[in-house]
Amino acid sequence: MQTAARKHTPRDPFIVATQVAKRQLGMADDDYRQVLSRIAGVTSSTQVPEGKRQAVLEEFTRLGATSAPKAQSANRRASAMEGPFAPKLRALWIAGWNLGVFRDRSDAALMANVTKMTGIERSRWLCNPHDANKAIEGLKAWLTREANVDWKISPRASPWRSVPGYLIAWAQFRLLEPDLLEPDLEPVIAHASFWAAVDTVVGGNFRASFNDGSDWMPVMNHFGKHIRGRQAIAASVNGDL
């Protein structure tokens, strides 16, 4: 029998851990709630029953979250990015990090670069819808320019093709496997190889629809490690390290 959810305080380590994981993964609010719902049947960390808490933390770890070093916690709080549009901006920034476009995945780097890019104070682009849209579209254009991310969605496309995680992962795969995109090769070959790679990453837990944005996180994190690894090797060869 499932135990009832207990009353939590704002400093409950479990709540802190889930919020840290959400921030590390660049999760939008909807994706975060989908994970909680899928694992614990609730949509808020304060509602997670005692018996489900460990499973929730393990799921976030599977998706790529790691424990934040205590020595850096004060600096992280000082540079924390808060506001209604912070999750989407953070998700785009971490996507850029996984694409090899940005070298620093921190909120501090995000805030400095977006402020420089837009010329708008962060207090405005974090809270004002019009200014936030400028920042969001600016980051998307940046990823298109540097990593060929294609944000255009055909109205006849399957729903999963509009999930940002798929769009990012497909761009990552094209960076990792450029030979599969030669003009004389059929597009179906590249897509078959892409889905085979995805299936390998998720360890046989392939979900046919992949409509849940969180499903793509382990894939993006996996591809991102390979992209950054290749960049490090290239930098070493070129004497940049």
- Between the CA of residue 34 and those of 73, 159, 180, 214, what are the distances in Å? 27, 17, 34, 8
- What's the predicted TM-score (pTM) here? 0.71
pLDDT, tens digit, 9 for 90 and up, residues 157-196: 777 778 899 999 999 999 998 887 765 555 677 788 888 8
- For 197-230, b where at least 16 C-beta lie within 10 A, e where not — what string? bbeebbeeeeeeebebbbbbbbbbbbbbebbeee
* Residue 226 pLDDT: 92
Structure tokens at 215: 């499903």
Instruction: Specify the 3-state DSSP secondary structure of 111.
Output: helix
* Residue 70 pLDDT: 42
Four-residue CA torsion sign, 94, 97, 102, 103:
positive
Phi, psi of 106 (to 5 degrees): -70, 155
Is the model's pLDDT at 35 over the cut of 80? Answer: yes
Is the model's pLDDT at 74 over the cut of 50? Answer: no
Residue 26 contacts residue 99 (beta carbons within 8 Å): no
Angstrom distance (rounded) from CA 112 to CA 69: 22
Please enumerate in sequence order all residues whose Cβ is within 8 A of that of 99, keeping only pairs 6 or more positions apart, or say none.
143, 146, 147, 149, 168, 171, 172, 175, 224, 227
Residue 25: pLDDT band with limits 50, 70, 90: confident
Per-residue 3-state assignment (H helix, E strand, C coil) for 79-105? CCCCCCCHHHHHHHHHHHHHCCCCCCC
Instruction: Specify the 3-state DSSP secondary structure of 154.
Output: coil
* Residue 234 pLDDT: 80
Domain range list for the chain: 1-78, 80-149, 159-237
Please enumerate in sequence order all residues whose Cβ is within 8 A of that of 231, keeping only pairs 6 or more positions apart, or say none.
100
Is the model's pLDDT at 98 over the cut of 80? Answer: yes
